[in-house]
Chains A and B, each alone.
Chain A
Amino acid sequence: MSGHSTYVPKSAIGRWFESRLPIMGLIHSSFVVFPNPRNLNYYWTFGGILAFMLVSQILTGVVLAMHYVANVDLAFNSVEHIMRDVNYGWMLRYLHANGASMFFVAVYVHIARGLYYGSYKEPREVLWILGVIIFLLMMATAFMGYVLPWGQMSFWGATVITNLFSALPVVGETIVTYLWGGFSVGNPTLNRFFSLHFLLPFMIAGVVVLHVWALHVPGSNNPAGIEKKTDKDTLPFHPYFTIKDAFAVVCFLIFFSWFAFYIPNYLGHADNYIEANAAVTPAHIVPEWYFLPFYAILRAVPDKLLGVLAMFGSIAILVFLPWLDSSKVRSGSYRPAFQVFFWVFIANAIVLGWLGGKPPEGLYVHASRLCTLYYFAYFIVVLPLLGKFERTRPLPASIAEAVLGTSGSASAMAGSVAASPNTKG
């Protein structure tokens, strides 16, 4: 995507506008005719699902903000007021709370796709790093959003996580005081968290624009991990991938709706229906499920500062992934040894999540340490060495060949698609 698009509007008004602000051409070249590899599988629909979820969270969030009050004496009741008195308030609240969980489900699948298929490798390094930035912004947004209902978990989660920064030498205590706006988590904290929680999603939207822009330079990766060579390798985004993404969003919405309408409190913590009490900490503080793996890593390290560094490090390491993975082969589909380590990594991450919800005692501590070790070893030891010693499967000659088989039938089918894309094949 470089230079102007070739889009010419049909109407005179359209041409007048387009010559002054070529937005229709931009949309046309980016989301209508943009060539995508024809072998994409459904793991490639999660980017679109994430964009949908961002819009959903912003819409439900803005209307919730019309009724929520960010004051320690009123916040909890304002949420109950939304649930009981506001028209469809119960639905908007459950959509927003469960939407956050769904957002993280989608982002973890999206990241896993990137890890497996080598989407972080050259020339998509900046695209990957922008993704890590979006992930960090998401975590900050979700953390602050969870504080707003001012339940027991809101308050104590805020206290624990803001106290993390006190581990930093010299500046730690000052940072914490500035975060709190006082001597402990209180009204100033809640007020500023509300403001920032409203702001950050729009920052996310901005980085998402950069993320899609960076993607559109090389175009999408694909399950075979090989670059497109001819037009036969790709299909236009519309109608092939617009309809595929729309179908995927519908399936995702069914999954989302199951939680939001039938088990809306399953992913939450019952203690957050108790109003915040600064004198009583609940017996088992846990963050929301999507933070549990990082929580496990934090608690695995017995030292306060090192635990904090390990937790932030577990996300920061992702930034360096393009340079840690030494393999010349991009897609995990052609790297049998890699596949073993990858699936162990996924299982390890799930186990870390499970451990994060357990009390930090006995065997759970030992297991957390082992799992944390594997987590870091995957990036620092396995991936750098694997690329040097692994035996990879032979790559297909082209994307078209990977999808359509031998070159004879490939050209016949591709030819018919190109010639008359609107008729039945």
Chain B
Amino acid sequence: MTDVATTATEHTRRDFLFIATGAAGAVAAASAIWPFVSQMAPDADTIAAGAPVDFDLTPVAEGQIVKLFWRGKLIFVRHRTKTEIKSAVETDVASLRDPEADSVRVKAGKSQWLVVYGNCTHLGCVPLGNDGAFNGWLCPCHGSIFDTSGRIRQGPAPTNLPVPPYEFVSDQKIRIG
């Protein structure tokens, strides 16, 4: 550093300070912005209110469809009859718009219980139970028809009624979530 005049390619202390300040500023800006973004995420009590919920299956008669809410979303619990199970199982899976075998949509040994989200996968209306060509569900808004496994068969809905996460905690009780 004996020569005062520097060439254009040699880096000066000023260049270092410039870059170091810029980097520190970028880190500071990111750290400052993060809490403002994070506060929009679900807060602790919303998460707590969305904890798994237990549901007793005893009062649900065969052929009955029951509605409940979890995390603000509607869920159908359907106690399927033998005919409904049979028509769900004996379907050509490959011909479905959203191919899914009935066995993957229910729990092993508990095929009489179907648990699905209750909003049509087209634009979100609540479909009517025990209705439509397959006696599954019929959405009155745009005519989507779901079968007894909640799979889309006719109409504009692109996918089957999704299955929420759930487990059997006992023979007659499920835990959703």
Contacts and interface: CB of A to CB of B under 8 A. Distances in A.
Contacts of A92: 35-36, 39
Interface of B: 35-36, 38-41, 43-46
B174 to A, nearest CB: 28
A89 B43 contact: yes
Contact of A81 (B35, B38, B40, B43): B43
Contacts of A87: 35, 38-39, 41, 43-44
A389 interface: no
B40 A66 contact: yes
Interface in A371-420: none
The 3 closest A-B pairs by CB, nearest first: A88-B35, A85-B44, A85-B43
The B contact surface, by secondary structure, is: helix
Contacts of A63: 36, 39-40
A81 B43 CA distance: 9
A92 B44 CA distance: 16
A199 interface: no
B36 A86 contact: no
Contact of A67 (B35, B36, B38, B43): B43
Interface of A: 59, 63, 66-67, 81, 84-89, 91-92
B35 A85 contact: no
A81 B39 contact: no
B38 A88 contact: yes
Contacts of B41: 87
A88 B36 CA distance: 8
A87 to B, nearest CB: 4
A257 to B, nearest CB: 12
B45 A81 contact: yes
B43 A86 contact: yes
Contacts of B44: 84-87
Nearest to B38: A87
B39 A85 contact: no
